Amino acid sequence: MAQADRTEFKGWLFDRDNDDMRVGVYDQCLMRMDTLPALELGAWPIFHSSHQRLDKWQALKVLEEAAEVVDAAKDAIRSVTVLDGRTLVNRAHLVDEIADLLQTTTNLCAAFGINAAELKIANTECTIKNMKRGMFDEGLRTHMHREENT
Specify whether 65 is located in the same domain as 106: yes
**CA atoms of 43 and 63, how far apart (whole Å):** 21
Q: Domain span at residue 91?
A: 55-111
Q: Write the single-letter amino acid at 121.
A: I
> Structurally, how many domains does the chain consist of?
2
Q: What is the mean pLDDT of residues 23-44?
A: 75
Specify whether 74 is located in the same domain as 106: yes
What is the reported pTM? Answer: 0.73
Specify whether 95 is located in the same domain as 121: no
The predicted pLDDT at position 36 comes to 84
Residue bearing the bigger pLDDT, 8 or 95 = 95
What does the pLDDT look like over 44-92, one tens digit per residue? Answer: 999 999 998 889 999 999 999 999 999 999 999 999 998 888 888 999 9
Specify whether 40 is located in the same domain as 13: yes
Residues in the chain: 150
Specify whether 34 is located in the same domain as 62: no
Residue by residue, DSSP assigns 15-76 as --TT----EE--HHHHHHHTTS--------PPPPGGG--SSHHHHHHHHHHHHHHHHHHHHH
Greatest Cα pair distance, the chain, in angstroms, is: 53
Specify whether 107 is located in the same domain as 146: no
For residue 90, which of 98, 78, 102 has the smallest C-alpha distance?
Answer: 78
Specify whether 107 is located in the same domain as 121: no
